[in-house]
């Protein structure tokens, strides 16, 4: 009985005295987290990809262009299945352009290459299969740590209660 109480006390001290791993006091720069929804990936001096979505086998790209220009879209995963690879030339105008393009999905991933004439740029598109759609942030980690600590604390309290009441060795006989 005493040995169990000592082991429980040691586990409690170790659990309560530890610090959270990965938690820092330094402020986090929002630029590093890429939380700006309007952030665009620059292809060249006139073209940028601002948004990419995958709907089944259709890729939807929002391309920001400084000038009217012709671009070529190519299915980046088409080589995984062999045969003819989907390619299409489009004219985009100055400003934001929404372009849909048929792609091959391979193991949940698709890819589109955008050729502006000066630059050939590849964009990987992943299907949203995870529980968290966006990158995990500091608050997500803290919430997970708090939930884990709370569950450990509840188990600890139940074990201590049972040890104090003497109900931890044999099941209680009702009849």
Mean pLDDT for 144-168 is 82
Tell me the per-residue pLDDT of 4-37, one tens digit each, with 9 for 90 and over.
Answer: 766 776 676 666 655 444 444 444 444 444 444 4
Distance (Å, whole) CA 141 – CA 153? 18
**Would you state the pLDDT for residue 28?**
44
Residue 110 vs residue 2, higher pLDDT: 110
Tell me which residue has tokens 């949203």: 128
Mean pLDDT for the chain?
78
Distance (Å, whole) CA 46 – CA 154? 58
Residue 133 pLDDT level (bands cut at 50, 70, 90): low
Residue 99 vs residue 11, higher pLDDT: 99
Tell me the per-residue pLDDT of 35-50, one tens digit each, with 9 for 90 and over.
Answer: 444 678 898 999 999 9
Model pTM above 0.75: no
Contacts of 30 (CB under 8 A, 6+ apart): 36
Tell me the per-residue pLDDT of 59-82, one tens digit each, with 9 for 90 and over.
Answer: 898 999 999 999 999 988 888 877
Residue 115 vs residue 1, higher pLDDT: 115
Contacts of 153 (CB under 8 A, 6+ apart): 15
Mean pLDDT for 151-175 is 76
**Would you state the pLDDT for residue 22?**
45
For domain 36-126, which architecture applies? Sandwich (2.60)
Mean pLDDT for 148-175 is 77
Contact 19, 164 (CB under 8 A): no
Distance (Å, whole) CA 60 – CA 56? 10
Residues of the chain with CATH 2.60.40.10: 36-126
Among the ranges given (23-27, 51-55, 135-139, 146-150), the one the predictor scored with the smallest mean pLDDT:
23-27
**Would you state the pLDDT for residue 129?**
56
Angle of the 2-17 helix axis to the 138-165 helix axis, nearest 10: 160
Can you say whether the dihedral through the CA atoms of 101, 104, 105, 106 is positive or negative? negative
């Amino acid at each position: 009985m005493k040995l169990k109480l000592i082991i429980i006390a040691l586990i409690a001290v170790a659990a309560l005295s530890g610090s959270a791993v990965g938690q820092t006091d330094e402020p986090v720069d929002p630029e590093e987290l890429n939380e700006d929804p309007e952030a665009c990936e620059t292809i060249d001096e006139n073209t940028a990809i601002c948004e990419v979505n995958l709907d089944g086998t259709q890729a939807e790209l929002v391309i920001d262009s400084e000038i009217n220009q012709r671009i070529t879209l190519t299915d980046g995963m088409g080589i995984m299945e062999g045969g003819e690879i989907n390619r299409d030339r489009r004219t985009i105008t100055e400003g934001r352009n929404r372009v849909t393009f048929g792609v091959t999905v391979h193991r949940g991933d698709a890819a589109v290459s955008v050729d502006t004439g000066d630059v050939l740029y590849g964009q990987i598109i992943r299907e949203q299969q995870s529980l968290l759609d966006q990158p995990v942030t500091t608050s997500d980690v803290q919430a997970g740590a708090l939930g884990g600590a709370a569950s450990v604390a509840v188990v600890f309290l139940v074990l201590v209660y049972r040890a104090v009441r003497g109900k931890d060795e044999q099941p209680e006989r009702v009849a």
